[in-house]
A = this chain, B = another copy of it.
Amino acid sequence: MTSPDPPGTHPAWLPPEAFRPIGSRRTLVLGDGLLTETVHDEAARACARYGGHVHRHTRNEPYDLVLALTTAEPLPGPAQTVLDEFRSTTGPPANTIGGEGYLTARRHGVTTVLADDAAGLLYGLFHVVRLGERAFTEERPPERHAPTMRRRMLDHWDNVDIHPVMGQVERGYAGGSLFWRDGAPRGDLARVRDYARLLAACAVNAISVNNVNVHATEALLLTDRLGDVAAIADVLRPYGIRVHLSVSFASPVTLGRLPSADPLDEDVRKWWADVTERVYDTIPDFGGYVVKADSEGQPGPFAYGRDHADGANLLAEALEPFGGVVHWRAFVYNHRQDWRDRSTDRARAAHDHFAPLDGRFRDNVILQVKHGPIDFQAREPVSPVIAAMPATHLAVELQVTQEYTGQQRHVCYLAPMWREVLGFRPWGPDGPAVADVAGGVSGNGGGLVGVSNVGDDPYWTGHPLAQANLYAFGRLAWAPWTDPAAILDEWIDLTFTPAATGDTEPAATRETERLRHILHTIMDDSWRTYERYTAPLGVGFMVRPGHHYGPDVDGYEYTPWGTYHFADRDGVGVDRTRATGTGFSGQYPPAWSEVYESLDRCPDDLLLFFHHVPYGHVLHSGSTVIQHIYDTHFAGAGQAVEAGRRWEEAAGLVDPSLHARVTDLLAEQIRCAGEWRDQITTYFFRKSGKPDTRGRHISR
């Protein structure tokens, strides 16, 4: 069954064929600046392949596509018409397109993209690529597109050295790092450039290039090895992507040989100011610092009796003169908790630490908050921190790499989960949503951050279908209200562009539709499938300790990590209510604290996150907890089998090596889902003694 990987790097959602509609036509690119050159180069490359033409100056000839900065003078007639139409239907200041935004229309046979800045023009180009032939066949009125999130960022947990436990990429499931190999830069900047193209095509505009756990070698990226970072920045710059760096809070001591890293120490402030100035001398558009402080062993301000506002402001002060930002992670908790102590609650930790600091952070601090209160489980409530700090710029952190969602061996399309998170309204149905908080009023929110799922694997993401998660992350950061199924359609259409199969067009279209149907069947509900066969009802963390793959119900139950389910012979779940539990539920605004605290109103899928209930407790679904556990696990594992069966039908519709890779991975997913089903059902049968009312086989 196993076939070789593709001979080169898989083109992901930018196969050459996706550019055929542009490449076979006449294009005009107008405007100045580095990114406008990128737009031109992209069009020119397509034209070189498909016989079209691209020009940088208006000539006396008709164009199929005009890509122009609004500052370009004069605009060709059709473009000016579109701009006028846009301005006539909106008033100032909305009559500006805005940073990174673009205006697109097709009028009288000319497709037009206009933007106030070159980044917008680049994103507009990729919009045309997404539309494909439709961009040139359907008239359409002016549409303004602008990002909801100002900063759409991927954090790479890549190590420079190979870490003895975590390897080259912490929680990476796609081979090595794109940037580093065994202590040195990987050296393949062409691959980094290809990566930048892919990111620009889904509008990611920032990356951090090293792990938030900053080890000794990685700390030097800030100083001695800054040139390695600059080399990456140079390759990313033409695609509108700024480089950020994870730094160690202890750097003044470890790198600067100061006696302290106290954020209120003058020498420490000066050290950061000087170092930061040197960073900007080398990388003028450097994005800023990412910091994991006082978390899981990383140093932080607590060592000096300071709080996290002191810590974050120290770095923000150094970055401020250059327009940089500090992403300060809110992932602070006690990882040496006593499992015997049922009053301490890791879920409370971020709110306990950070909510009291609201208003104390400098304007260029972005507090980076994991979407859930624990740690990227398949099901968690939204973090209450997001509603608790109105005077702070908050970024929401998602985990694109599938640490807890199948490690890129399982199909798990995460956009539906992220869409739920972004659409959650912490203050109730009439209040703003998480996407509004992260987007901010007029775009000044902290944005969206994803932990990258990319490595040097030929398919970029290990599992070829996990490319869709990377793509969807960028698209949701741009437009969080988009339907995940529509994003999947975009990804399918680009990635499996028909001409790639070499078939004639009508047959190819039919095949694409068959493939699209298969992929939707496999992927649309795959996150909920994964949820079904793993930890039930929001309880989480029933994974093997350390690597976090596969089931181990008690694996974390008696550890210091604060991740417990408290299953006994009578019931299961964590009481986080104010009345009888840890009080975590009280960290939410009343609209949700009242829901979560109420056994009657708490959503089934979060029941065990908020309540410890008997196995016989009846859910809203009408099922008991124990029967729900049995039913969902049999169903989820069955759905994995079904996904495997459906994928067989995709043979011949995709590249054979890609098909083989996914086939192999599905076999592992089916095995692992069966293992989850069996361990969970046996565990809870042994504990509860309650038989499956449907009489299926559960090992004793």
Complexed CA–CA distance, A338 and B682 (Å): 13
A320 at the interface (CB under 8 A from B): no
A678 at interface by CB-CB < 8 Å: yes
Closest CB of chain B to A570's CB: distance in Å?
Answer: 7
Is A99 positioned at the interface, with any CB of B under 8 Å from its CB? no
**Alpha-carbon separation in the docked complex, A634 to B553 (Å):** 26
A342 interfacial contact with B, CB 8 Å: yes
The answer to whether A682 and B569 have CB atoms under 8 Å apart is: no
Which residues from B are CB-within-8-Å of A2? none
Q: Are B686 and A568 in contact (CB under 8 A)?
A: yes
Given A340-B699, A554-B683, A558-B683, 15 more pairs with CB closer than 8 A: A339-B699, A340-B678, A340-B682, A342-B699, A552-B554, A552-B558, A553-B554, A553-B558, A558-B679, A567-B686, A568-B685, A569-B569, A569-B687, A569-B689, A687-B687
Instruction: Tell me whether A551 is interfacial, beta carbon within 8 Å.
Output: yes
Is A555 an interface residue when CB atoms closer than 8 A count as contact? yes
| 21 A-B residue pairings within 8 Å (CB atoms) | A340-B682, A340-B699, A342-B699, A551-B558, A552-B554, A552-B555, A553-B554, A553-B558, A554-B554, A554-B683, A555-B555, A558-B678, A558-B679, A567-B686, A568-B685, A568-B686, A569-B569, A569-B687, A569-B688, A570-B689, A687-B687
Question: Does A57 reach chain B (CB closer than 8 Å)?
Answer: no
Docked CA distance A553–B340 (Å): 16
A670-684 with Cβ < 8 A to chain B: 678-679, 682-683
A686 to B571, CA, bound (A): 10
Chain B, Cβ-Cβ closest to A698: B340
**Whole-angstrom CA separation of A675 from B568 in the bound complex:** 19
Complexed CA–CA distance, A571 and B553 (Å): 19
A700 within 8 A of B: yes
A688, B554: Cα distance in complex, Å: 16
Pair A568/B687 contact, Cβ less than 8 Å: yes
Cα distance A339–B679 in the bound complex, in angstroms: 9
- For A551, the chain B residues whose CB sits under 8 A away are 558
* Beta-carbon contact of B569 and A700 below 8 Å: no
Residues of chain A whose beta carbon lies under 8 Å from any beta carbon of chain B: 339-340, 342, 546, 551-555, 558, 566-570, 678-679, 682-683, 685-689, 699-700
The 10 residue pairs across chains A and B that have the minimum distance between CB atoms: A568-B686, A340-B699, A554-B554, A569-B569, A558-B679, A569-B689, A569-B687, A340-B678, A569-B686, A687-B687
Inter-chain CA distance A558–B680, complex, in Å, is 10
CB distance from A168 to the nearest CB of B (A): 14
Residues in B neighbouring A700, C-beta threshold 8 A? 342, 566, 568
A159 CB to nearest chain B CB (Å):
16
Complex-state Cα separation, A569 to B342, whole angstroms:
22
**Chain B residue with the shortest CB-CB distance to A568:** B686
In the complex, A110→B151 CA distance in Å?
Answer: 93
Complex Cα distance, B683 from A339, in Å, reads 12
Known: A687-B569, A689-B569, A689-B570. A558 touches B340 (CB 8 A): no
Report the separation of the CA atoms of residues A339 and B675 in the bound assembly, to the nearest whole angstrom: 10
Nearest residue (CB) in B for A544 is B545
Q: Tell which of A558, A567, A569, A689 has the most Cβ of chain B within 10 Å.
A: A558
Please give the distance in Å from A682's CB to the nearest CB on chain B. Answer: 7
Q: How far is the CA of A567 from the CA of B687 in the complex (A)?
A: 9
In the complex, residue of chain B having the shortest beta-carbon distance to the beta carbon of A570: B689
* Shortest distance from the beta carbon of A193 to any chain B beta carbon, whole Å: 33
Report how far A689 CA is from B687 CA in the complex, Å: 10
When chains A and B are docked, how far (Å) is the Cα of A346 from the Cα of B569?
29
Q: Are B567 and A682 in contact (CB under 8 A)?
A: no
Please name all residues of chain B whose beta carbon is closer than 8 Å to the beta carbon of A569 when the two chains form the complex: 569, 686-689
| CA gap between A569 and B683 in the complex, in Å | 10
Residues in chain B near residue A546, CB distance under 8 A: 546
Contacts of A683 in B (CB 8 A): 554, 558
Q: Are A682 and B570 in contact (CB under 8 A)?
A: no
Measured between alpha carbons, how far is A555 from B545 in the docked complex, in Å?
10
